[in-house]
Amino acid sequence: MRTLGAMTLSPRATAWIYWGATVWLTLELALGGAMDLVRGRSVVFAGDPVDVVVSSLGYPVYVLLFLGILKVLGAAVIAAPGLRRLKEWAYAGSFFQIALAAGSHAIAGTESPVLATRPTIDRQPTRN
């Protein structure tokens, strides 16, 4: 049994949480990487094309090639059995990719699915 604050989790619940998060991250990396490589939509079936989003953030479009390849490779490593050291790098890379994307959207002032939950105080108009 593992404890999470005041809550105690059974080994089965811990396994479900682990595999749920792993599958979600693997799918996000694989689909995101594929969308980057084919210059698809930013939200798979909707939204602006990713090259428009990347350009609006001030990055060159060729960055999508590198991001796409690394995301697909990261998804493959996370899904593969073994490869502990590479998995650590893939998890770290996905964390930095998501964190830096959120930071880029925040600095550019654009709305991002990652930033949709930011505090409402940020959206209130300032008084002069």
* Beta pairing partners, 46: 43
Which position has the higher pLDDT, 38 or 42?
Answer: 38
Quickly count: other Cβ atoms within 10 Å of residue 121's Cβ.
6
On the 0-12 / 13-18 / 19+ scale of CB atoms within 10 A, 28 is middle
Is the pLDDT at 118 greater than 70, yes or no? no
What is the structure's pLDDT at 48?
Answer: 80
The Cα-based distances of 16 to 21, 69, 84, 88, 95 in angstroms read 8, 29, 20, 20, 21
Kindly list the domain boundaries of the chain, sorted by start residue: 71-106
**What pTM, to 2 d.p., does this model score?**
0.74
Q: Report the chain's mean pLDDT, rounded to a whole number.
A: 81
Report the C-alpha gap between 91 and 77 in whole angstroms. 9
Comparing 37-46, 109-118, 119-128, the range with the smallest average pLDDT is: 119-128
71 contacts 36 by C-beta, under 8 angstroms:
yes
Comparing 13-27, 32-46, 104-118, the range with the smallest average pLDDT is: 104-118
Which position has the higher pLDDT, 9 or 22?
Answer: 22
